[in-house]
Each structure stands twice: as structure tokens, then as C-alpha cells.
Amino acid sequence: MKEKIISLLAALETEDIAKSFPMDYCLPVYHCVSDENLPHIRNIIHYKNTKQFEEDLDYLSKHFRWITWSEFKDFVNGKFKSEKKIALLTFDDGFREFYDIVLPILERKGIYACNFINPAFIDNHEMMFRCKASLIIEAAEKAKTADPEIYRMLSPENPSKEAFRQEILKISYHQRAILDQLTERLEIDCKAYLKEQKPYLTTDQLKTLTKKGYGISSHSWDHPKYGELSLEEQLESTDKTFNYLKENDFLYESFAFPFTDFGVKKDFFDELFKNNEIFCSFGSAGAKLDSIERNFHRIPMEMGESGEQIIRKEAAYFRLKKLINKNKITRR
């Protein structure tokens, strides 16, 4: 019912979405763009192909002005003015396709982007636990017969492939050792996959991107969900990543939460911003305000819909939530 109401309201938005967009900035976030089937991503992210991505960029370019990281900082500080509402393009996770596919598109269109990376995966040393989950789902779906031992390990109420899929996707960061057991049982060689497929960016590629003027910033060390971590664990992952960024002369002024910042309390932000070098942080709750003024929310663009549909829905949903005073996240 909620989705139907939002879709109806989105259809009523004006053609010039920038005029009706309820915020002065638009922060789209992607993970990957590819025309290929990527087994380590396809079961966890509805990534767009190159045509869909370019259509998104063209739509956003029509209504917003793309800006760089330095211009975004000036905008927040009141030093940058634009006749159009502004947009800052962001990517998460540091997948190789950013270099191979996205970069040529951005260079051709003259658009800046910042990629928030997890240093643990750079140079393909390790694979994010959710990517392992995607490989497991892929292997299980291709298997001619189900392995009863695998189902026993997960204990799903309904021993179907869909139930198996859902159980795999429920496995959390702290339970990730289960995924390693499952990859072994299914004879999935993650190290060989990393070596052959090279799903993540390399240090050399990151340095090339930096030289070309693109941002490389923090997305935690190895992609945990921060709401499930203790404050000590949150700060350890964050600080370790900032040290890596500084050592490599990358952009260490910002931090983007992996997954979501849902459940992250005020005490984390209090500690985060004790570091005067950190300018801001980014969540991904869509068009939404935050009681932490320096925590800006991005709009997930991989929702199985066009960029236009997503932006129109976000604008409509913001106004709907505003009516009941629910368009702002309050931290305690």
C-alpha cells in the first residue's frame, strides 16, 4: 500500500524535478555498472548496465549541476552558489568496474565522482562477506541436487532454494565464518576467484583515479553493518581506514557508512567528529535530513528502476514523511 501511494505521488511530481526536489542537493550512490553477469554481485545488488547508467546521468544532468568534492565542501560552508540544485555522484565498495567502465563514461561527460572503498579488499586480498554470499547462492542454484549438509548448517524452515537464498542473505558480518564453511562445502575457491576475476580495484588504479581528480575515500575497513557493532568496533574500523587513506594520499575527509547508518547512535558521531580532519559522513537513507548536521544522506540508485523514477519517488516520499514529521533521523 505504501509503495502504491508513493508511486502515485511520484507521478504527480512536476517535469522539472529540480524545482520540486525538496532538498538543495542530490547525492546518488551506485556500487557497480556492468553489462556482464557478475556472480559475486548479482545476487545482492541490482546493478545497472551502461545504457541504464548513462540514462540516469543524462536525466540528473538535465536537472542538477554536478559538482566536485571541493565544491561540495564549499556548498556546505556557504561559499559555493549555483543556479541549479547540485548533485555529487558517489560509488561504494571499490569494484573494478569503476575503473574499467564508469571512468570512461565520467571522463566523456565531465562528471566527478567519489568512490568509498574498503581497504581490506583492495588489490583483491579478500572478498566482502556479502559477495561470498552471492557466490554461494549462485553455486546452489546451479547445483543439480541439493546438499543436505548445507541445509542442515542453515536449518531453514522450508528447504527450498528460495528459503536457502533468504537464509544466506541473513548471515551477518559477525556470522561470516559460516559463509567460509559453506564456500568450502560447495567447493567455491574464493582466493582463486579473486585472482582470476579481480573484482576489486588495485592500489595502482586508485592512485591513477586520484591523479585524474576523482575521490577515493572511506567506507570502513571491511564493510560491517555499523548498527551491529559496538562503539569500540565502529571506531576501530573507521580509524584503521583513515590511517590507510592518509598513508596513500587519498581523500580522508569523509566517511560513508557501509550498508546503512540505521541504529548508529550519537556517541559514534561525537567521537568521529573529534577528528577535525573529517568534514562529513554519508548515510544512504535517501532524501532525508539528520539530527547530525554533518551526516548527509545519499539516494540508492540500484533499486530496479530508472533514475527518474527513483528521484521522483524520493521527492514524493520526503514530502509525505514531512507531513508527519518523519523526514529527519534523530540520533540519541
pLDDT digits (tens, 9 = 90+) for 37-63: 999 999 999 999 999 999 999 999 999
pLDDT at 10 over 70: no
pLDDT tier at 291, thresholds 50, 70, 90? very high
pLDDT tier at 151, thresholds 50, 70, 90? confident
C-alpha cell at 60: 540528473
Determine the pLDDT at residue 5.
65
pLDDT tier at 162, thresholds 50, 70, 90? confident
| Nearest by Cα to 44 from 125, 101, 129 | 129
pLDDT in tens, 225-258: 999 999 999 999 999 999 999 999 999 999 999 9
For the chain, how far is it from start to end, CA to CA, in angstroms? 30
Determine the pLDDT at residue 161.
78
249, 210 in Cβ contact below 8 A? yes
Domains in the chain, CATH or no CATH each: 2-126+200-329 (3.20.20.370), 129-194 (no CATH)
pLDDT in tens, 259-281: 999 999 999 999 999 999 999 99
Give the integer Cα–Cα distance in Å for 311 and 138: 31
Determine the pLDDT at residue 9.
62
Determine the pLDDT at residue 158.
67
Lowest mean pLDDT among 21-30, 152-161, 216-225, 288-297: 152-161
Query: 63 φ, ψ to 5°?
Result: -110, -20
Name the region of 323 (left: φ>0; alpha: ψ -120 to 50; beta: rest): alpha
C-alpha cell at 90: 558517489
Q: Who has greater pLDDT, 91 or 19? A: 91
Determine the pLDDT at residue 310.
97
Q: Long-range contacts for 67-76 (Cβ within 8 Å, ≥24 apart)? A: 67/112, 68/112, 68/213, 69/112, 69/114, 69/215, 69/251, 69/253, 69/254, 72/25, 73/253, 73/279, 75/25, 76/279, 76/280, 76/294
pLDDT in tens, 97-149: 999 999 999 999 999 999 999 999 999 999 999 999 999 999 988 887 777 78
